[in-house]
Amino acid sequence: MAEVNLSWSEPNILTGVNDTFSITDLSGTFVATLPQGFYTFKQAIDQLVILLNATASTLVFSVSGTGPTFSLNAGSNFTINETRLCNQMGFFFGTPDNSHFIDGSPVLLNQLYIDFVCTNLTNQQKLKDSSTACNIIPSLIGGNTFVRDVLCRWYFASDSGPPPLDAYGFPILMGYTGFYLRRGFAYPKQIRWEANIPVGNLLFEVYDDKGNQLTVTFGSIYNTDWFMTLLVSED
């Protein structure tokens, strides 16, 4: 495995997955739903403020500060209810307050990495892959509870330094927009092949960080695609 080119078009805010933000105040519980699409943290929270102010809540919402001082504010106490989007944005939830701050750095991604797999090839590797992911709670950071031999893993992270920041001081991560990028591997996985085993009819699969295979939806609706270069040499 010498290189992979990834043309990524999967929105980081998906309908029915991580599109809802819920608050409760004295007049009731209200839900703001983001339209599916690509969002930086700033774009997401700005749109949520507009949507929350359009609900029947009697509160007027606004934001202030940058980075560690950033907060979502209202004229009186309100509670942020736990949703996947709330967790990804890094808000504290479940405690009433008139200003809610960020716990750490937001990560508005549904995949932290994807794995490229070809069992026809990795069946021949003598040293099998292992991972500490089987020792964690998958819902926390998306790790698998099992280990799969992979050709390579694409992390949604820059290898050319820290990412740029949005106007609120939070990183604009790979995956907040569509992209077409090439990633070469200085030390690619090498598999010693037995001379009596033929090479052919190879099946390539892609899995997300939760172990789910990215199937027909991947690449047919959003035009995501990938290309890779495999090198073969002789002893």
What is the C-alpha separation between 77 and 214, in angstroms, rounded?
Answer: 42
* Cβ neighbours around 208 below 10 Å, total: 18
Number of domains in the chain: 2
pLDDT at 143: 54
Q: Which domain holds residue 114?
A: 3-10+110-229
Residue 177 has what pLDDT?
Answer: 95
Domain stops at, among 67, 101, 135? 101
Residue 234 falls inside a structural domain = no
pLDDT score at 154: 93
Confidence of residue 222 (pLDDT cuts 50, 70, 90): low
Question: Please, which residues bridge with residue 24 across strands?
Answer: 29, 79
Model confidence pLDDT, tens digit, residues 198-209: 888 889 999 988
pLDDT tens, residue by residue, 133-172: 655 444 444 555 667 888 999 999 988 889 999 999 999 9
Contact 20, 85 (CB under 8 A): yes
C-alpha closest to that of 103 among 52, 68, 62, 64: 68
% of the chain residues with pLDDT over 90: 61
Are both 55 and 153 inside the same structural domain? no
Structural domain contains residue 152: yes
Least confident of 30-34, 115-119, 125-129, 215-219: 215-219
Query: Is the domain of 225 the same as that of 119?
Result: yes
Do residues 151 and 213 share a domain? yes
Task: Based on the fold, state whether residues 131 and 202 are members of the same structural domain.
Answer: yes
Tell whether 173 is covered by a domain.
yes
Answer whether 57's CB lies under 8 Å from 27's CB. yes
Query: Which pLDDT score, from 0 to 100, does residue 219 have?
Result: 44
**193 part of a folded domain:** yes
Non-local (6+) Cβ contacts of 234 within 8 A are none
183 occurs within a structural domain: yes
Residues 74 and 133 in one domain: no
